[in-house]
Structure 1
Amino acid sequence: MLPDRFRNAIRSTPEFTEAVWRWDCCLYDAIISTMLPKVYTPTPFDTLDSLRTYTRELLPCIEESLRNHYPETFVLKKLTVAEVFVSKFRRHLKLNFMANDVADMIHDVPTVDNMQRDWDTIDFDNVIDQSDWLCECEPRQIKHILQFDVHNLLSANADLDCWITWIKGIVDRFMGVPTQQYPYTVKHPSYYTFYAKEFIFKWTYCTTLLTKDLSSRHASSEESFRMMQWFFDDLVLYFVEQKLSKMALYSFQDATTASPLPQALPFSSPFPTSIPQVSSVHGSPSILPPAGSNDSFGTIPKLAEPPTTSATESSPVKGENA
């Protein structure tokens, strides 16, 4: 516990609470970017298990140490940012656990050969027909992705980094983010979030149809594909959230701050109700929320109800049909 003079300073000077909160944000972002710098970070199981234990014990430890000793506002600030960190770090750990399992699986050549044989037996035309009326996807694009891209990756015994790069390329292709150099027509955050949610729905629906087809054929590699589906579905969500972060950065790019404290950026919750912003480290959504931001900004609309915009705003046009 800090000496009385420091605790009294925290009580009398609200700026101390703000400063501590922002530096906590920087600390937690540094922990994530150091321990798990990318989606697939080969890490010993004991280390991952210790990190999971750390996320379970952090909040009780903070509350026990601070409650009844510091101002309630200070305690709540510390707990709030810690809760966001714990939620985000657990998701990163889960994704890394799955990545390690999938990496081990695709290193086994007989398993991959079996997966390739089963994949080639899928009735892709039937899968595309089932998804077309609901997803309104371009059949030729989807068939090329399913029938050729996946086949080539399996036949080449591609490692997990190649698969991750392929998934990221698909997200980049269908979820382009406007930049100063290349401003896309879709600039309104609510529209972009609507398309992001729609893209995730289409992706998960198609992957479910594929595993259902394998299951109906009693494919021996069904469980292997199901493991890949779980990982890739979460990976797509992760990459889409990064896109939402970049979209927020594009929207906030003119905002400036004169504060000497760390630049405040939006944080990402497990299923965000507001758009997160990109972190300066490794492009992942950061912990810090924006200075002076409105909590209602970027609220995700219902899938069936595209957000409305004023008559002065141009209608959005997607770069490609997902």
Structure 2
Amino acid sequence: IPEDITVDDLLIFRTLYREHCESLLDCLSSFQLSQVESYWRNFWRNSLHSDAIEVEYEKMMPKNKLVMLCMVKEVQNFIRETDFQFYQNVVGILLPDVLRPIPSSMTQAIRNFAKTLESWLSGAMTGYPEEVVAMKLAGVNALAQTLRRYTSLNHLAQAARAVLQNQNQIAQMLSDLNRVDFHNVEEQASWVCGCDGDMVPSLEQDFKATLAQQQTLEQWATWLEGVVDRILRPHLTSPRFVQAARHFLLKWSFYSSLVIRDLTLRSAASFGSFHLLRLLYDEYMFYLVEHRVAQVTGIVPIAVIGKVQNDDIVFCTCSIDITYHCNL
């Protein structure tokens, strides 16, 4: 820790940063998305027009001290972990249920918000060390990517509802599905993916039965969750859990692509419906696996892609104490 940095400085920064995040959450809870930029600029002292909030921040911690603090490794770790937890809370506020219908205007507002996050943060952090800016941008990009993915998932879910509620389409899909050469599909999937010989036929029969029962989107979601848990449960205590989760997604994608290929070659009348459901189920599977990996590795879902870069389980915590390494 640099000599110019005291324990009080660290404590003040921790308090200010947490209060800053809480203020942002309050702002987003009322859907004031456009105000985020000004909150960032005030905290990092890069406001376009100085206001009372920035002046108050400057009194509590001058900008030059703030810049020095950002160069401390423990402070950077604290910021990174706090940001990931904060961004996960943001996702929970803006999209509490990825399958629940939301107005198209709200979807577009969230997507526009995601597009502007990087430029807003870059402007707010002008003059700060490149290492810190890069770290902050990595976190906000994870948020933007997650918001784009979840809004796309939500859009697919609403489109799929119309298909799942149409009895004629369901009947046509069942008819087309029964013409698929599943024996050939299973042989290819087994050779390429090493799939369990009993698992694939079991999933096939479950899928057909669920489709025949004309289940709702929420019931399909429950079925997909059951598939994920069934496949990943044997690996829960394994240090290779992340690898198993990745391989499952690859196997699921390859198997479903073979089914879609067969439907395409047969010019299936319900191809469009199957294609839509395939897009939705692939995306929702990724969503489910992402959350299962987060649970096992002890990190928030939004951090999974950025943090789990190898096949080993990575345990993280959002309670890093930036005063731990100080000489009291």
TM-score relative to the length of structure 2: 0.69
The AA in structure 2 aligned to 1:238 is Y
- Residues 241-260 of structure 1 show CA distances to partners (whole Å, capped at 9, x for unaligned) of 222222213xx9xxxxxxxx
Counterparts in 2 of 1:74 and 1:201: CA distance versus 1, 3 Å: closer
The 8 Å contact of residues 241 and 313 in structure 2, kept in 1 or not, is answered as: no
Q: Could you say which residue in structure 2 is the equivalent of 1:11? A: 67
Q: Could you say which residue in structure 2 is the equivalent of 1:299? A: none
- Which ranges in structure 1 are unaligned for 5 or more consecutive residues? 179-183, 253-263, 279-285, 293-322
Residue 71 of structure 1 and its aligned partner are, at CA, apart by 5.5
Query: Could you tell me the percent identity over the aligned residues?
Result: 22
| Distance in 2 of aligned mates of 1:145 and 1:208 | 15
- Which ranges in structure 2 are unaligned for 5 or more consecutive residues? 1-46, 48-53, 322-328
The 8 Å contact of residues 164 and 216 in structure 2, kept in 1 or not, is answered as: yes
| Distance in 1 of aligned mates of 2:303 and 2:296 | 13
The 8 Å contact of residues 91 and 270 in structure 1, kept in 2 or not, is answered as: no
The 8 Å contact of residues 118 and 140 in structure 2, kept in 1 or not, is answered as: yes
Q: Could you say which residue in structure 2 is the equivalent of 1:216? A: 265
Counting only pairs closer than 5 Å after superposition, residues 68-87 of structure 1 correspond to structure 2 as: 68=127, 70=128, 75-87=133-145
- Residues 8-62 of structure 1 show CA distances to partners (whole Å, capped at 9, x for unaligned) of 4413545776666555444322220122223312111111111000000111112
Residue 238 (structure 2) aligned to one of 187, 200, 210: 187
Pair 1:267-2:286 in alignment: no
| Distance in 2 of aligned mates of 1:26 and 1:245 | 12
| Distance in 2 of aligned mates of 1:22 and 1:138 | 39
Counterparts in 2 of 1:266 and 1:47: CA distance versus 1, 3 Å: closer
Pair 1:228-2:277 in alignment: yes
Counterparts in 2 of 1:84 and 1:169: CA distance versus 1, 3 Å: same
Q: Could you say which residue in structure 1 is the equivalent of 2:157? A: 99
TM-score relative to the length of structure 1: 0.70
- Name the larger-Rg structure: 2
The 8 Å contact of residues 161 and 216 in structure 2, kept in 1 or not, is answered as: yes
Question: What is the SS of the residue equivalent to 1:220?
Answer: coil
The 8 Å contact of residues 244 and 277 in structure 1, kept in 2 or not, is answered as: no
The AA in structure 2 aligned to 1:154 is L
The AA in structure 1 aligned to 2:168 is P
Counting only pairs closer than 5 Å after superposition, residues 108-257 of structure 1 correspond to structure 2 as: 108-146=166-204, 148-176=205-233, 186-188=237-239, 191-249=240-298
| Distance in 1 of aligned mates of 2:125 and 2:199 | 56
The 8 Å contact of residues 265 and 291 in structure 1, kept in 2 or not, is answered as: no
Residue 119 of structure 1 and its aligned partner are, at CA, apart by 1.4
Counterparts in 2 of 1:238 and 1:271: CA distance versus 1, 3 Å: farther
The AA in structure 2 aligned to 1:150 is F
| Distance in 1 of aligned mates of 2:281 and 2:116 | 29
- Residues 95-151 of structure 1 show CA distances to partners (whole Å, capped at 9, x for unaligned) of 2222222122222222222112211222222222232222332333321221x2122
The 8 Å contact of residues 106 and 159 in structure 1, kept in 2 or not, is answered as: yes
Counterparts in 2 of 1:77 and 1:208: CA distance versus 1, 3 Å: closer
- Aligned residue pairs total 261
Counting only pairs closer than 5 Å after superposition, residues 54-65 of structure 1 correspond to structure 2 as: 54-65=113-124
Q: Could you say which residue in structure 2 is the equivalent of 1:47? A: 106
| Distance in 1 of aligned mates of 2:302 and 2:87 | 14
The 8 Å contact of residues 52 and 90 in structure 1, kept in 2 or not, is answered as: yes
Counterparts in 2 of 1:59 and 1:171: CA distance versus 1, 3 Å: same
CA RMSD across the alignment: 3.2
Counterparts in 2 of 1:27 and 1:125: CA distance versus 1, 3 Å: same
Residue 210 of structure 1 and its aligned partner are, at CA, apart by 0.8
Q: Could you say which residue in structure 1 is the equivalent of 2:94? A: 35
The AA in structure 2 aligned to 1:194 is Q
Residue 239 of structure 1 and its aligned partner are, at CA, apart by 1.8
| Distance in 2 of aligned mates of 1:19 and 1:85 | 18
The AA in structure 1 aligned to 2:294 is S
